[in-house]
Chains A and B, each alone.
Chain A
């Protein structure tokens, strides 16, 4: 896949869609991703807990596999956390099939272009940052 602004073509499209939306529409779009959150594939083992989850945080589990040189991520996020489900759905749709090198090249603050921080508050984007850090760790491990 070719990269645009350091993102896979699909992730760039997703970010561009958010850029085109204004205010409330950005939340609607994130909610669409949350609604499309896919079920965890049956052929994979129960995923690892992403990291220790103190009480305020949503417990996120993640697993990955490599097929034909592309990395594929899968998440488990509780239904009562649609914001985090939306983030995870964006990452799956935007990243799955990318090479580990492409994942590692994603700018750490790429999601600020979505403008979601203006409608959700910057603190609520921390979940996205935590997920990105984690998918990168997995990508780096695949290259070792």
Chain B
């Protein structure tokens, strides 16, 4: 069986177990739930909250380069640290953090396959012991714009009829569901999808135990929808976290060179005045 294109970006739980306490490795837990880390985490792991640590406190954007440097410094992450991300919900938020670390130029980034749930299911230990690492002096790079799409990029993509992948659930894609019930603030004024986008829900890339599907299964899945390696691809979801998961699969597991994550996603596009929208099952 063929391997993943860039297996060096993926580690398994056993690798992590064998590197506990390795000073060159920093485990980062990134969860959807703000308190999950505090109920117990992998020994030595630090917490990066996707909202309170990675989002700009005022405008809709990520933290600035300087804020990112402060975050890494305080977590004891140096420029040459191997950072291993894991989290809840099949690693959605872990991969979102991975994506932002790439955006700011961190070199050695990996994802723990299967995430927190797999570690727990294997009966491996968790701890609530507080920890702190010596502060480092971290230098971030200027943002790697090549992995991030803004709305104007999406508009140009649409006009040029280049491929867009909508990774949300089917009901969100068809427009039946604008926002999650009870979560109106995370919604959009309009439902549907960006015209021409193909629907490939992110969850199709993972197996029951939260690990990624085999290279062959992933290749069949995306190529079966016309998402092939030579294309310039933009993935989106609702706020950009599920699509960072698909971005990771395409970029690192299948080795597609040109994949961007549109982090504005549906909460931006579905609110833009005059933006074209398609409803139903698409073309």
Do A and B share a complex? yes
A residues bordering B, Cβ < 8 Å?
A: 27, 30-31, 34-35, 51-52, 54-58, 80-84, 86, 119-124, 126-127, 129-130, 133
CA distance A95 to B157 in the complex (A): 52
Judge whether B186 is part of the interface by a CB distance below 8 angstroms.
yes
The 5 A-B residue pairs with the shortest CB-CB distance in the complex, in nearest-first order: A130-B182, A82-B35, A121-B51, A126-B183, A54-B180
**Inside 8 A of A27's CB, which chain B residues have their CB?**
34-35, 38
CB-based contact B181/A80 at 8 Å: no
**In the complex where A54-B171, A123-B185 touch, is A82 in contact with B39 (Cβ < 8 A)?**
yes
**Inside 8 A of A84's CB, which chain B residues have their CB?**
33
CB-based contact A56/B35 at 8 Å: no
B residues bordering A, Cβ < 8 Å?
A: 32-36, 38-39, 51-52, 88, 116-117, 169, 171-172, 177, 180-186, 203, 238
Selected from B36, B52, B177, B180, the residue in CB contact (under 8 A) with A121 is: B52
- Sampled A-B contacts (5; CB under 8 Å): A31-B39, A54-B177, A56-B238, A82-B36, A130-B181
CB-based contact B39/A130 at 8 Å: no
**Inside 8 A of A55's CB, which chain B residues have their CB?**
169, 203
Q: Considering only CB atoms, which chain B residue lies closest to A34 in the complex?
A: B35
CA distance A83 to B181 in the complex (A): 18
Q: Considering only CB atoms, which chain B residue lies closest to A81 in the complex?
A: B33
CA distance A29 to B128 in the complex (A): 16
**In the complex where A81-B33, A83-B33, A123-B51 touch, is A56 in contact with B180 (Cβ < 8 A)?**
yes
Selected from B35, B172, B183, the residue in CB contact (under 8 A) with A57 is: B183
Output the least CB separation between B129 and chain A (Å): 15
CA distance A27 to B177 in the complex (A): 32
CB-based contact B171/A83 at 8 Å: no
**Inside 8 A of B203's CB, which chain A residues have their CB?**
55
Most chain-B CB neighbours within 10 Å: which of A30, A55, A58, A129?
A: A55
CB-based contact B32/A56 at 8 Å: yes
CA distance A86 to B171 in the complex (A): 30
CA distance A130 to B182 in the complex (A): 5
CA distance A52 to B181 in the complex (A): 8
**Inside 8 A of B180's CB, which chain A residues have their CB?**
54, 56-57
Q: Considering only CB atoms, which chain A residue lies closest to B51 in the complex?
A: A121
**Inside 8 A of A31's CB, which chain B residues have their CB?**
35, 38-39
**Inside 8 A of A126's CB, which chain B residues have their CB?**
182-186
**In the complex where A57-B183, A122-B185, A126-B185 touch, is A80 in contact with B35 (Cβ < 8 A)?**
no
Most chain-B CB neighbours within 10 Å: which of A80, A81, A133?
A: A80
Q: Considering only CB atoms, which chain B residue lies closest to A121 in the complex?
A: B51
CA distance A130 to B35 in the complex (A): 19
CA distance A121 to B54 in the complex (A): 12
